[in-house]
């Protein structure tokens, strides 16, 4: 570890892991405030310690801010509003039924209720969709991808990296929102970052300091008891 990282490590926050897990949530409104570069470096250095199959560390991360972020925002908003069909690198499979559908609906109701959007409000629902492509006004948007030769098994490794990243952000007083919608226009991302190595985009994460005045940020979702998903057996 370099001397600079050693000095920075002594200033790491004291928030414990369990507190960070309970504090983490999807935030959909941010302050127009930059994060010090040394803080960003430390956050991503911590996330780099995530586990992966055979330690291949498959995640590729492209972070846009400033003018580049604004250009990507404007392009994605315009394409979405114009009905340009998404062309994701990976097929999205989200056919939620039974209890999964119940949880999905509960989440949508909680979010849209806080935003004051009725189910019949088509314009309001469209504006809510566009908020995704506005990155919820976050000062940073990260696009996460992996080599085109990898499949589901390695994508799980990328997911573990993302969870480590988001928990570390909480520890440093930041919030984030993982966004499947950021897979919609991968060619724009490749052009913006001059990506020519075959990296395919999986999803994105908007992040920054939370704007607590944004109504959507009051949304909370419940978690089922572990009996709904965990089975213990000894014989």
Residue 216 — very low, low, confident or very high, per pLDDT cuts 50/70/90?
very high
Residues of the chain with pLDDT > 70, as a percent, come to: 96
pLDDT (0 to 100) of residue 4: 42
Q: Quick one: average pLDDT of 99-121?
A: 93
pLDDT (0 to 100) of residue 152: 85
Residues in the chain: 235
pLDDT (0 to 100) of residue 232: 97
> Which 8-state DSSP code applies to residue 214?
S
Query: Is residue 92 a part of any domain in this protein?
Result: yes
pLDDT (0 to 100) of residue 154: 94
Is the model more confident about 94 or about 142? 142
The domain containing residue 35 runs over which residues? Answer: 3-8+15-219
Query: Is residue 235 a part of any domain in this protein?
Result: no
Query: Is residue 225 a part of any domain in this protein?
Result: no
Highest mean predicted confidence (pLDDT) among 6-10, 121-125, 131-135: 131-135
Provide the CATH number for the domain around residue 117.
Answer: 3.40.109.10
Classify residue 24 by burial, with Cβ atoms within 10 Å: 0-12, 13-18, 19+. middle
Domain count, the chain: 1
Query: Is residue 192 a part of any domain in this protein?
Result: yes
Q: Quick one: average pLDDT of 153-178?
A: 97
Query: Is residue 31 a part of any domain in this protein?
Result: yes
Is the model more confident about 94 or about 143? 143
Query: Is residue 212 a part of any domain in this protein?
Result: yes
Residues of the chain with pLDDT > 90, as a percent, come to: 90
Q: How far is CA 140 from CA 24, 34, 77, 103, in A?
A: 17, 9, 16, 29
Query: Is residue 67 a part of any domain in this protein?
Result: yes
The tokens for 101 are 């559908």
Least confident of 27-36, 95-104, 134-143: 95-104
pLDDT value at 9 more than 80: no
Q: What is the pLDDT of residues 31-83, one digit of tens each?
A: 999 999 999 999 999 999 999 999 999 999 999 999 999 999 999 999 999 99
Task: Judge contact between 33 and 139, C-beta under 8 A.
Answer: yes
Of residues 199, 191, 219, 81, the one with CA closest to residue 146: 199
pLDDT (0 to 100) of residue 151: 87
The tokens for 177 are 């929102």
Q: How far apart (Å, rounded) are the C-alpha atoms in residues 32 and 118?
A: 29
Q: How far apart (Å, rounded) are the C-alpha atoms in residues 155 and 152?
A: 5
Query: Is residue 155 a part of any domain in this protein?
Result: yes
What's the mean pLDDT when you consider all of the chain?
A: 94
> Which 8-state DSSP code applies to residue 173?
T
Of residues 200, 195, 206, the one with CA closest to residue 88: 200
What are the residues whose beta carbons fall under 8 Å from the beta carbon of 3, sequence distance 6 or more? none
The tokens for 162 are 């993302």
């Amino acid at each position: 570890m370099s001397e600079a990282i050693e000095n920075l490590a002594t200033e790491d926050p004291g928030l414990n892991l369990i507190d960070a897990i309970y504090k983490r949530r999807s935030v959909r409104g941010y302050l127009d405030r930059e994060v010090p570069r040394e803080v960003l470096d430390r956050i991503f250095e911590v996330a780099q310690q995530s586990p992966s199959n055979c330690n291949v560390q498959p995640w590729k991360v492209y972070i846009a801010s400033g003018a580049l972020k604004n250009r990507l925002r404007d392009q994605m908003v315009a394409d979405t509003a114009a009905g340009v069909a998404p062309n994701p690198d990976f097929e999205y499979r989200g056919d939620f039924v039974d209890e999964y559908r119940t949880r999905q609906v509960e989440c949508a109701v909680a979010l849209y209720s806080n935003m004051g959007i009725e189910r019949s409000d088509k314009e309001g629902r469209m504006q809510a969709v566009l908020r995704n492509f506005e990155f919820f006004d976050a000062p940073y948007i990260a696009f996460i991808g992996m080599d085109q030769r990898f499949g589901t098994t390695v994508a799980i490794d990328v997911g573990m990296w993302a969870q480590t990243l988001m928990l570390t952000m909480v520890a440093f007083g930041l919030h984030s929102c993982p966004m499947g919608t950021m897979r919609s226009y991968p060619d724009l991302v490749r052009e913006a970052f001059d990506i020519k190595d075959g990296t395919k985009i999986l999803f994105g994460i908007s992040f920054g300091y939370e704007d607590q005045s944004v109504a959507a940020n009051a949304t909370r979702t419940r978690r089922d008891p572990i009996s709904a998903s965990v089975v213990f057996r000894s014989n």
